[in-house]
Chains A and B, each alone.
Chain A
Amino acid sequence: GAGVSQSPSNKVTEKGKDVELRCDPISGHTALYWYRQSLGQGLEFLIYFQGNSAPDKSGLPSDRFSAERTGGSVSTLTIQRTQQEDSAVYLCASSLAHASQYGFGYTFGSGTRLTVV
């Protein structure tokens, strides 16, 4: 597609429920990234995919968080047993391979605003 697409744009869920956040990257972008943006906290790295593999998942805050990517395209971030501290904007970005190595930069989606009540 023309840009990075994320859905839903907004999600309100009850504490303890599971949620799935979807990211559809730019066609041809092999690298995909998930970040979390909390108020006053900047952007927190969660996980990075190269193709369907996740070489770096060091930012996932707990085992309640998981992500997968299929067909080298769409990625899903799943949060199990949501807690109030999970409330944040979850941003997805994609890039050509080795964006960091070659300085390509990322293209970001508009994010999913998750509110846990």
Chain B
Amino acid sequence: AQSVTQLGSHVSVSEGALVLLRCNYSSSVPPYLFWYVQYPNQGLQLLLKYTTGATLVKGINGFEAEFKKSETSFHLTKPSAHMSDAAEYFCAVSDHNFGNEKLTFGTGTRLTIIP
């Protein structure tokens, strides 16, 4: 069974600073990996995903993530934080076995941007 660990339930960075949100996964097969963002009182929105191919994936709003198999990690980064990035971020994994369709989510990281 797959699982996701997000280190740091709360992360604060200054506006313009690097954003780094950590995600480690456990999966019995090569995983598909996702990052979602949730703004207050809204549903989750897909930021980016890794399925196969290039291990550095780019998403919306300037975010990117790198799949590192040796470290079982899929950390989310953004070079320069913006006030509008304040939200909760969820990492998710799928082991994409046919018939096992659900995503397993981490417990989330709340990102605060300091002006």
Contacts and interface: CB of A to CB of B under 8 A. Distances in A.
Interface of A: 4, 31, 33, 35, 40-43, 45, 48, 50, 55-56, 59, 91, 93, 98-103, 105-111
Nearest to A33: B102
B47 to A, nearest CB: 10
A63 to B, nearest CB: 20
A48 B90 contact: no
- Taking residues whose C-beta sits less than 8 angstroms from the other chain, chain B's interface range is 20 to 34
- Binding site secondary structure of chain B: loop
Given A42-B106, A45-B102, A100 B43 contact: no
A40 B45 CA distance: 19
Contact of A110 (B41, B102, B106): B41
B107 to A, nearest CB: 4
B63 interface: no
Given A100-B32, A108-B45, A110-B43, A41 B107 contact: yes
Interface of B: 9, 32, 34, 36, 41-46, 49, 51, 90, 94-108
Nearest to B91: A42
B95 to A, nearest CB: 8
Contact of A105 (B9, B34, B102, B107): B34
A43 B43 contact: no
Ranked 6 nearest A-B pairs via Cβ: A108-B43, A103-B51, A42-B107, A43-B105, A100-B94, A100-B101
Given A103-B51, A105-B46, A106-B46, A56 B101 contact: yes
A50 to B, nearest CB: 7
